[in-house]
Amino acid sequence: MALREILKMGDPRLLRMAQPVAAQALGGPALRELVADMFETMQHVNGAGLAAPQIGVDSQLVIFGSGQPNPRYPDAPVVPVTVLLNPVITPLGEELEEGWEGCLSVPGLRGVVPRWRRIRYQGIDPDGQTIDRSVEGFHARVVQHECDHLMGILYPMRVRDFSRFGYTEVLFPGLDAAADD
């Protein structure tokens, strides 16, 4: 396993439409190593999720969840540890919900982003097993944020009210200032 460099906003590789993971790659050692590296990288910085394009890999692969409370989002519900490939998101209903987001590719900042409150997400895991879940709230937000990375979208592109966008250490002085988003 190895820590990977996380690309920062401004890098054109964050703006690509990611390629689907090919069936031949499923269950293979290269994919397993990539996923292990992504978890190590995400956990190193207490991330809530990480998308392959954030480490420069042009693949439709995201990881998220911790199975335990995230120190950066201590009040958020626990999201199961998930590796999701070739995802498809379908909104359930039309309700939008605003919430604060940060991003490992946009360190030190947070902003309020509207997201679908409830979604269904479908895809496969690294062994090709089907994932099909209907979720809401924080879980739904994390999935939407990570899958946006696969379409070259960073959360600041979805901020509507820039009076609620700024530096974490200023907006949330109580929060661990050392922890970058």
Residues with a known catalytic role: 146
- Which residue has the closest beta carbon to Zn ion? 103
The phi-psi region of residue 70 (left if phi > 0; otherwise alpha if psi is between -120 and 50; otherwise beta) is: beta
**Nearest CA to 126 among 43, 12, 30, 7?**
30
Q: Which is nearer to Zn ion, 25 or 150 (CB)?
A: 150
Please provide the DSSP assignment of 141-177 as one string.
HHHHHHHHHTTT--GGGG---GGGEEEHHHH-TTS-T
Q: Which is nearer to Zn ion, 84 or 103 (CB)?
A: 103
Q: What is the SS3 assignment for 33?
A: helix
Q: How far is the CB of 52 from Zn ion (least distance, A)?
A: 12
**Nearest CA to 135 among 77, 86, 75?**
77
Q: How far is the CB of 82 from Zn ion (least distance, A)?
A: 15
Q: How far is the CB of 132 from Zn ion (least distance, A)?
A: 23
Q: Which two tokens stand for residue 102?
A: 């940060």
Q: Which is nearer to Zn ion, 54 or 86 (CB)?
A: 54
Number of neighbours of residue 45 by Cβ within 10 angstroms: 15
Site string for Zn ion, 94-133 (x = CB under 5 A): ---------x------------------------------
Q: What is the SS3 assignment for 98?
A: strand
Q: How far is the CB of 24 from Zn ion (least distance, A)?
A: 28
Based on the shown chain and the rule CB under 5 A, indicate whether residue 55 belongs to the binding site for Zn ion. Answer: no
Alpha-carbon distance 6 to 14, whole Å? 10
Q: Which is nearer to Zn ion, 103 or 112 (CB)?
A: 103
Site size for Zn ion, by CB under 5 A? 1
Write out the residues near Zn ion by the rule CB under 5 A.
103
